[in-house]
Amino acid sequence: QVQLVESGGGLVQAGGSLRLSCAASGRTFSNYAMGWFRQAPGKEREFVATISWSGGNTYYADSVKGRFTISRDNNKNMVYLQMNSLKPEDTAVYYCAAAFLPISVPYRPGDFGSWGQGTQVTVSS
């Protein structure tokens, strides 16, 4: 298993930016893909972005493509989500997750085996 701790959430005005961080510990970080999901009140958890173990491949939900960027630093056991041009509909709890299956860019919740506790992002209009 791997332990994941998110940080960087907060309150921001529409059009602003935030950078989420996720610190991983436990298993060898560079061996698995990482992803970000979010869950708004009353809604199901939805995929946001994923990055392969090497960082060479990424995949985004259409709703965030062009605005969000996922990246990772395998030397620091960190994964990041840079969020620009934020919209009120981006308001949610954001979770990072680790995928242990041999999938380059997993995107389904079932592909991921470990989850963080989440960090709240609130975008005001």
Model pLDDT, residue 101:
84
Residue type, 73: D
Comparison of pLDDT for 83 and 100, the residue scoring more: 83
- 3-class DSSP assignment, residue 35: strand
Q: Rounded to the nearest 10 degrees, how much is the dihedral formed by the CA atoms of 78, 84, 87, 93?
A: 10
pLDDT band at 9 (very low <50, low <70, confident <90, very high): very high
What whole-number percentage of the chain has pLDDT above 70?
Answer: 100
Pick the residue with more confidence: 78 or 31?
78
Instruction: Determine the pLDDT at residue 26.
Output: 85
Phi and psi, residue 78, nearest 5°: -130, 150
Question: Residue range 109-123: average pLDDT?
Answer: 96
- Per-residue confidence at 90, pLDDT binned at 50, 70, 90? very high
Predicted confidence at residue 52, as pLDDT, reads 95
Beta carbons within 8 Å of 15's beta carbon, 6+ residues apart: 85, 86
Q: Are 26 and 38 in contact (CB under 8 A)?
A: no
The yes-or-no verdict on residue 29 having pLDDT over 90 is no
Amino acid at 74: N
Q: Considering only 22-31, 34-43, 48-57, which range has the smallest mean pLDDT? A: 22-31
- Distances 61 to 2, 11, 39, 71, 107 between C-alpha atoms, Å: 25, 22, 14, 15, 9
The terminus-to-terminus CA distance of the chain in angstroms comes to 39
